[in-house]
Amino acid sequence: MEKEAAAAGGETVKLQIKFGGQTIPISLSPDSTVSHLKSLLQSSTDVLPRGQKLIHKGKILVDSQTLRSSEITSGSKIMLMASQGLHQGDGPKVKDDPVVSNYRRVMNVDRKPSKAIGQAPVGKTRVERWKITGVVALSESNLKSIPDEVWDCGSSARVLDLGNNHMCNVPIKIGCLTSIQKLILNSNKLSDDSISWQGLTELKSLTYLSLNQNQLTNLPPSLGSLTSLEQLHIAGNKLQSLPMEIGRLTQLEILKVNNNRISTVPPCIGDCSSLIEVDLSSNLLTQLPETFGNLQNLKTLHLSNNGLNSLPSALFRKCVKLSTLNLHGTEVTMDVLRQADGWEEFDERRRLKYQKQLDFRASGATDFDEGADKN
């Protein structure tokens, strides 16, 4: 239903607001402010006024200006972009368009989401939409191979989500998507020989790579060529080791290789100086290299369900930001931990972290309970 906001008998302008695959008609006085228009749109979109960005002919409308001063006339089309998180209820009201839904879901995967999310225009082919949004969302599409039209996106694609399909092959053509920043290949049927790492290494802008729940047993040395990587997720495979070249990933912040069969970690892991979080839980580790002590930015280390009975001697002393350590299901005892150099400082950081959680009514602990045997 069209919203009517003009005074009775007064001059009105009729606008078409484009948002989320739908068109919202609104009539109001040309002397109304942009701020007033945003307040009217709140009930139609569930987006709070401060989370709305209105764009007309490529220009962002200013809240304090009137429609007249903004050169908005009857019949004008205005695009609404919604900032993430600034909404009421369950979220913005958008048309039930699978392309739009996939776009929003993929963008929310990112650990560092963008401040504003535009909506994919309707009335376009899916390749056109992919090029406009930069997001190729094909998860859960029952795919056995990557559709040829994906390659038509070329340098326009920034995100490629192919998770939860049945693919057995990632061809060398993947290298033509030169601007890809995020590549999601979770839950497919990928094996060591079915991924063209030669193609992947052409993705010089790649910061996020996820290969969880596949059939990988080894990672090639060429992994070290992906020097822009910030997140690497390879949980739930059959990896037996990590390549020495992983040390070249100096921008890597998150490494998740839990639920594999890794028995050793190469000493060069200490060269990954940007690491903040490492998850090695549920592997076959009996020891960690001393170079773990070089990870001075490390905050979180998950080691549960391994055969460990000791930790690197300099871990607590050198990893001065470490505050979360999970040792459930290991042979590391409290006696071992208390004798470690730097234990007191680590324990204080851990306590402070949990105290902050308690202050926000989160569950916490006063004693070290992250898996070390207390006997």
The per-residue pLDDT for range 324-356, each reduced to its tens digit, is: 999 998 889 889 899 999 999 999 998 888 787
Of residues 228 and 20, the one with the higher pLDDT is: 228
Confidence of residue 58 (pLDDT cuts 50, 70, 90): confident
Distances (CA, A) of 368 to 322, 344, 365, 374: 14, 11, 7, 9
Phi-psi region of 82 (alpha: psi -120 to 50; beta: other; left: phi over 0): beta
pLDDT tens digits along 18-31: 988 889 999 999 99
Domain map (residue ranges) of the chain: 3-95, 101-330
Higher-pLDDT residue of 213 and 358 is 213
Chain-wide mean pLDDT for the chain? 86
Instruction: Measure the CA–CA gap between 239 and 249, rounded to whole angstroms.
Output: 18
Neighbours of 133 (CB within 10 A): 25
Examine the pLDDT at 121 and tell me if it is beyond 90: no
Per-residue pLDDT at 84: 67
Q: Quote the CA–CA distance of 15 and 351 in Å, as a whole number.
A: 56
Q: Per CATH, the architecture of 101-330 is what?
A: Alpha-Beta Horseshoe (3.80)
Q: How far apart are CA 213 and CA 166, in angstroms?
A: 12
Inter-residue long-range contacts of 340-349, CB under 8 Å, 24+ positions, other chains counted: 340/311, 340/313, 340/315, 340/316, 341/313, 341/314, 341/316, 341/317, 342/314, 342/315, 342/316, 342/317, 342/318, 343/316, 345/316, 345/317, 345/320, 346/316, 346/322, 349/321, 349/322, 349/323
Whether 194 and 170 have beta carbons less than 8 Å apart is answered as: yes
Q: Which CATH number fits domain 3-95: 3.30.465.10, 3.10.20.90, 1.10.3720.10, 3.40.50.9100?
A: 3.10.20.90
